[in-house]
Structure 1
């Protein structure tokens, strides 16, 4: 049965310290001294909620990313921060990145069930497989797991977490004071999982949460990543530079869902976009130039080296990229490696030009223009089969998010593309996704 409701954009605010541009902290419109100030993030979350955005999202890694000498890096553990943001917001979803490579399913399931209760059903989990040797070395390992093994572990990790969220049935709590029965223990069960990577008895020590399971989000676009997303993810954060690339990814990923017994509506695809907004096009381009002029080439070169898995230090900035390995020989983020290599080749960029192009979005699309021009871009991708919505990556904060909420959102609302009020309470409801049934209860009823 198809819904008669018009299709609406889903918009997520991706919050990153002083902003997504790697020179944002040097710009006078930012407040890098506040990146460990709770009130700063509360302000950003309230702004996202004022714009009726579906969710806010926090990336995370288990090492200090990049050269802290040249960027405002480091910050809060995301679940801790989102718990504090839950207390000052009512509607906006709260998505945290947690790695399946250097965590355990029981801890992770417990934390997300807790956040879902604390927020009244607004928790989302961005599932990643850690991809750097720096992270491995913080956990007693000299090398990180091979790419396909990381995804094998991730599959089992998510299966265990899901079983734990289902280890309490929705009506397990009886609260019968008279008989002295708090919970029906026939509805609280051990999961007795024994697998390749994990042994977990269960049950979880948190009752079933408002959403049943948090919204499951994924951000890898390699072959392994796309297969994983088709099986488990309900929203995908992805990076494409062109409409044609966006359409190809969208079609490919949606076509994989049927194999897993899923419909295309059960997975929302949200490419990242870094909107540089000005009241005129000239003003937007001037801001983009200001940010580029503040870049530290040494920092950009180190970031680029990390993305490509190739040491570029010492190479001439006005020369081309050196010859690169093949994607199959990369054990980091395969899809980002390919995107950056293709971008450099397609546009014939020097290292300096490539660093400038990647400064705002690290491979995500950067677009400078007026609110109307930004809205045109979002509308085109949305209506032309490249996106169900977008991961909005403000180049500078807090102003870049204010500009988007105050000027782009009203334009999208005028076009009938975005909600004017929240109609649901939970993050799943914002994304138009159903609440998962409790599998043991369903099996028993059957």
Structure 2
């Protein structure tokens, strides 16, 4: 067992070997500043910005259910807004961090385990829950099985995403009795507000007309979207395109070019024009995306072909039940797009000249419905994992006699 020397625990031989194999630990003491707030403090640690976003719904539930008054949010990825860098994984800094903040419990996301910090937490009897575990990320620690078995002493529960993740954690010593497959953490909601009165009025106007939406379209993609619409009109002559350009500054030019260069009748939402039977392209500003997702069963992710990636989060369309078409550029939404792709919740259009044919093909209601249903399942994942974390934290607080 380690022993205390001047308030810092002397490391076991296994931890000393781990530190030797690992080399210098990144990080510093910046997280040991400011005063600890009064009340119950939950410490949440994320390996990256994506995990920080996934923490947001969980934090709201913890606050609503009076399991936390304040949050200490640390993130291993530098510069994520609203987070502190964790202390370097060194004994003195780990001890100083925990002694300064004195969290009531900890929740770690995904992986990226930090052995010295976790051993220090266990020595202080700080209960920790792991959620959304994917890969332990232990580096040199894999070479020291005895060290890894002790690493999980701080964890009351270890919730992993799937069986592959479960095997990865078991290989490095996670206790089977405390490990459970619970799926991914709940995503922050991407369901956008919809003015129901407006939606109902526009639905009556559109009636049975087929509709598709191109949202966040950069100037570089405008021509290919319009040409795709012209092509799709051959198979569905009443088809309406709702076009939301990435910049409202493009509206005047589009109102001129759509009839002048393409022979298409255009209307404009901000001019109080309704999409009547003669309107073939309906232009809108980007302030009502939730309304357009609900009206259009099919959405093109603008920016994913000629831009640096989708201009809007792909889960917005999915949450509204609109099937998503996209190009090969995922930009900042790589993780989300990969999840949709693997679930069959989006359809790739690799080249601009194919978009018109794909739109025509997707006008069949069953095709849109299959993709939209698969996408909705992806965006609604995580409720079970969050429920299990809430139950684990509740049990921790009950065992400490700390429930209010």
Instruction: Give the greater-gyration-radius structure (CA).
Output: 2
Q: Given the two structures, how large is their TM-score scaled by the length of structure 2?
A: 0.27
Specify which structure has the bigger relative contact order, considering alpha-carbon pairs within 8 angstroms and separated by 6 or more residues: 1
When normalised by structure 1's length, the TM-score is: 0.25
